[in-house]
Chain A
Amino acid sequence: MSLSVRLDGVGKSYGVRDALNSISAGFPAGTISAVIGPNGGGKTTLLRIIACLEAPDRGRVTYSGNGGVVPAGLGLMRRMTCVSQRPLLFDTTLYENIAYGLKARKLSPGEIKARVDEAMEEGGLSGLARARAVTLSGGETQRAALVRAFALKPDLILLDEPTASLDPDGAALMEGLIRRINSEYGTTVVMTTHNLFQARRLAGRVFFLYGGELVEEANVGTFFEAPQKDLTRKFLTGEVVY
């Protein structure tokens, strides 16, 4: 039931600056892909375009699932979700936050409660159901936003720097959840990260964006052990500084 995404010649400009320049790439169903690169490389813009939060100026994005193309619209939006780099929780209880997307999908109250309880336990947030979301710490907020997304069991999940605000324990917990949602539900995962070790641990395929260009994409082993492009090598050895 997972979704695949195909980008063909996708470009996006902000004024005179090209944030993305003719990106063509595929994210197959049921895979975990990591998009890496320095700040300003276009990672977040790429994710926002896939999440339908921004329209590309050029090119197109195609979503496929169940053997056919999935048209844009609410149906597509309910098969995927996105957690931003700076996650925002609604000013209500943590329970209501996690239940929000499930209510939008018109699940029964019993199913909503079961899913929220399960997600909170898996995310290490048990006991915080009645806590006001705005009182959570930065790390808890990021975990809660991820848990809110995981509770939907989406076909495609887009994660922008998902563990940036987490301590090593929290990051390990979330990495476990990313692996689990991918293996258990076949969810396609596209994530950006500055953490090369994390990309290596989680991803099957790695995409390197630099200055809005897709410099290289390869399977994780090839990408880190035998990169084809000089710029990729320099990035991996730290010669191209973030």
Chain B
Amino acid sequence: MDTILHGLARAMALILSFDRELYSIILLSLEVSGLAVVMATVIGVPLGALCALRAFPGRVIVITALNTLMGLPPVVAGLAVYLFLSRSGPFGFLGLLYSPTAMVIAQSVIALPIVAALTRSAVASVDPSLREAAVTLGATPRMVDWRVISEARTSVLSAVIAGFGRTMAEVGAVLIVGGNIAGYTRVMTTAIAMETGKGSFELAIALGIILLLASFLMNVLLGVAQGKGRVI
């Protein structure tokens, strides 16, 4: 118990003293996960909406693949990205392995199926009568699609936040492709794993508190979106 209390006290001191190492790790985590979720959103939201709104050859296969990949173990995603980016891999010539860019790619691979599958589910669950209402008002097919997606916007935002939460919390993929290099590719989760292994709990606890705080903030954002953001 003393270890925990002592760790908590030291952690609070690190947070309140704006410890440079701590905050550089936090910033890199936000940067990597933020960029990853932007990439996943740019590809995943249109892909999910397309699967919900249009029939096309292979649609069922795409939906099944997305649903399956929602549970993709991060280490498997990390391994796949590693194999592609390693020196002997097809994209090895880019020299991206053990860089924040590789971490963004790996986390995008993890977040994309979550964002796309949840977006598909959200758009597909919009009342079909709403589409008919838009059609009877003389809307073009594009206007109708946009209306349907707009109706699902809160759930789509939830999908994006879920993707962000998953990327912030994952450790396996970023460890494999980032290498946990201090000051370069060390993020909150890899730092927590390493510091815990070393028995240095204060930084691990401080980062744990920040991660919990980030999760809390995401839920607050979602609540605001659901409450006030429905009118556009």
Footprint of B on A, CB under 8 Å? 51-53, 74, 77-78, 80-84, 86-93, 100-101, 104-105, 132, 134, 145, 148-149, 152
Contact = CB atoms under 8 A, between A and B. Distances in A.
Q: How large is the interface on B (under 10, 10 to 19, 20 to 34, 35 or more residues)?
A: 10 to 19
Interface in B98-136: 127, 129-130, 132-136
A81 B56 CA distance: 29
Interface in B131-152: 132-140, 143, 147, 150-151
Nearest to A54: B132
Contacts of B140: 74, 104
B151 A91 contact: yes
B137 to A, nearest CB: 4
A88 B133 contact: yes
A51 B143 CA distance: 18
Contacts of B127: 88
The listed residue with most A CB atoms (<10 A of its CB), out of B127, B133, B134, B151, is B133
Nearest to B126: A91
A104 B143 contact: yes
A104 B231 contact: no
Contacts of B133: 84, 87-90, 145
A192 to B, nearest CB: 15
Contact of A91 (B132, B136, B143, B230): B230
Contacts of B150: 90-92
8 contacts: A74-B138, A81-B137, A82-B136, A84-B132, A88-B129, A145-B133, A149-B136, A152-B137
B232 interface: yes
A92 B230 CA distance: 7
Contacts of B137: 81, 100-101, 104, 148-149, 152
A228 B136 CA distance: 36
Interface in B168-214: none
Given A89-B133, A90-B147, A132-B230, 20 more contacts: A52-B135, A53-B135, A77-B135, A77-B136, A77-B138, A78-B138, A88-B129, A88-B130, A88-B133, A90-B151, A91-B230, A91-B231, A92-B232, A100-B137, A101-B137, A101-B139, A104-B137, A132-B231, A149-B137, A152-B138
A104 B135 CA distance: 10
Contacts of B135: 52-53, 77
B93 to A, nearest CB: 49
A81 B136 contact: yes
Chain A CB within 10 Å, residue with most, of B130, B133, B136? B136
